[in-house]
Structure formats: C-alpha cells, structure tokens
A and B are shown apart, each in its own frame.
Chain A
Amino acid sequence: SQQGEEDPQALSIQEGENATMNCSYKTSINNLQWYRQNSGRGLVHLILIRSNEREKHSGRLRVTLDTSKKSSSLLITASRAADTASYFCATFQGGSEKLVFGKGTKLTVNP
C-alpha cells in the first residue's frame, strides 16, 4: 500500500517562483525522505528529516514535517528550469527497511 502520497500530481511554474509539494503518510515514521528523479531514471536523494525535527533546510530546499498531521512539505525557492523533475517522498514501512514511495509530483519550471 502507498505510504506516502504527494500532491499535487503535477505543478507548472515560472522560473524564479517558489514550488511547494506536499506529502501525506499513514503510519508512524522515524524519518521521511525526499527524492528527485529526472527523466524517469535514477533517483537523487535530496533531504532527510527525522521525526523529532520540524523543519530542515538545504540550499534552496526547505522541508517541514508535521507528525501530528502525518504530512510533510517540500519547498523549492527561486526555482530554475533545471529543477524540472519528479519529486517523491518516501518513508520506511512498518519498522522495516522497505522504503515506500508515493507516486510523485511532476514539477515543470518554465524558463
């Protein structure tokens, strides 16, 4: 079953604008991770936020985590055309080592 569900499914913005993607999950977690995928190939790990953290920054990325609502958001500030990709959140399922991904948000940044 899907552990993480991202929304929106697709997002199209202009270069320079901010992009916000949301993720909801179902069970308790130790951490939540965000990945980026270009052109349907390998995933790149972006950021990991632990369950005892509420916000984390990495460059132009800002991730928040609300464990009471079982949700996370990924904000990309000052977007660039190169940010065009699909973004996935992922969590470990049921204390196992299986990383469960949502179906992703497809972000298009128009120059």
Chain B
Amino acid sequence: GAGVSQSPSNKVTEKGKDVELRCDPISGHTALYWYRQSLGQGLEFLIYFQGNSAPDKSGLPSDRFSAERTGGSVSTLTIQRTQQEDSAVYLCASSLFLAGGSTDTQYFGPGTRLTVL
C-alpha cells in the first residue's frame, strides 16, 4: 500500500516568508508525528497528533511553528516568518495506535528539505 507522502520534496524560501509543509499519513494510521533534522544532526521531535486528542506540541521550537491535522488525516506544518536557522529536513511519520495506549512502529515519509535564504 501507499506509504507516508510529503510535499513539497524541496522548498526554497526567503527569510521572513511563511511556508506550509504537507504530510499524508498511511491510511488508517491515527498517530502522526513531525520531526526536524538539521544538517548532520539527529531527529528533533516537533509535534504529535493522536486521533481527536489535543496534540503534543512540546517540541515546537517557537510560536512561529504551528501544525494542524484536518479530519484526522492530512497534516500541515506551518512556519511563519522563516529564519535561516529553520533550514532543515522536515520529516513526517505515522503509526497505528494500539490498545493499551501505546503506538506501533513509526513509518516515515521522504521529508521536505527546507532552505531559507
């Protein structure tokens, strides 16, 4: 079946502009995650959605970052007034939510490479 898809694959923007990154999770996966990976760094958790529960936004680095998930499926990560330090690969992942309150293996999309000039 189809995996997690993300768009665009690459985005170049000017400092100060807003950008929107999109993630289409695997059908039926109720959990959705956003991560950021800066050059040569590990992955940094940003935000987590599970069903209709309030999202865990504890990883968002500033109030310029926001995300929403419409209809429990597609998610959009928005970065307002982009800065050069926002340049990174933004990865989305989805997983099943298992009985007992835990999640299963996370399946990652190919990522969006954001470059802020």
> Which residues of A are in contact with B by a Cβ distance under 8 Å?
2, 30, 33, 35, 40-45, 48, 88, 90, 93, 96-104
Contacts and interface: CB of A to CB of B under 8 A. Distances in A.
A88 B43 contact: yes
Interface in B39-78: 41-43, 45, 48, 50, 56, 58-59
Contacts of B103: 97
A45 B105 contact: yes
Contacts of A93: 45
Interface in B90-117: 91, 93, 102-103, 105-111, 113
What class of interface size applies to chain B in its complex with A? 20 to 34
A43 to B, nearest CB: 4
Given A41-B89, A41-B110, A42-B111, A33 B105 contact: yes
A40 B105 contact: no
Given A2-B42, A88-B43, A98 B111 contact: no
Nearest to A48: B105
B37 interface: yes
B50 A97 contact: yes
Q: Which of A30, A41, A96, A104 has the most CB of B within 10 A?
A: A41
